[in-house]
Amino acid sequence: MQIQAVIFDMDGTLINSEPIWNEAEVQYFNQQGYPVTRADIANLRGLHIGGVTDYVLHHYADYHSGKSPEELSQELLDYAIAIILKKKPLIDGVRETLSYLHEKKIKLAVASASPLYMLEEIVKSCGIAQYFDYLSSAEELEYNKPHPMVYLHAAQKLGVPAKHCLAVEDSVTGMISAKSANMKCAVVPESEHWHDARWAISDFKFTQISEIKKLFD
């Protein structure tokens, strides 16, 4: 397999932001009068923020904050990003993995469901911006994950055919997006999701992100 580019998901793959997102979503919607639970949010893993808001408004249709879906999504985004930027929760092994791939002359990108300004702020604050050739945000495109557009867009900007790209994901939604783009996909699931049968469609399954390096040894 000739891998010319590696394209990473952001949340849960490069930064350990999933617990922060989960708590922020529960806190924010509770503050707005919606009795959202941790169980609700756990079922929405990998879904973009607009989808989370749509779920809450549909599931708790009897509750009203007086704010539009767009207002709720933007306020939630700002609320969560502020916490993430303060904590800078870079996952162990990320920096050394990016440095290793960079030295190997492998093109690197991010393909995320999150807004571009969030991606830019996070890679800067975590000190990894210099490794990436492109940041692809599905919020800037017509379709979000699980549609493959965000991965195809990243590959196009890198100038690398999709079949020569490796996507790195931690969610089933993201994995489906990458495989639909005709890319190889390495998944790094959380331990509690390790035995999910759906990972069978991935090409590689690792316990930690640094294991990706052995594909290039």
pLDDT at 125 over 80: yes
Say what the pTM is.
0.83
Q: According to the model, what pLDDT value does residue 1 have? A: 61
Contact 150, 168 (CB under 8 A): no
Domain boundaries, given as residue ranges, for the chain: 5-16+89-215, 18-87
Active site residues: 9, 11
Query: Which ranges of the chain would DSSP assign to H, the alpha helix?
Result: 18-31, 38-42, 49-59, 69-87, 94-103, 116-125, 149-158, 172-180
pLDDT averaged over every residue in the chain:
94
Q: What is the pLDDT of residues 15-24, one digit of tens each?
A: 998 889 899 9
**Domain covering 5-16+89-215 in this structure, CATH number:** 3.40.50.1000
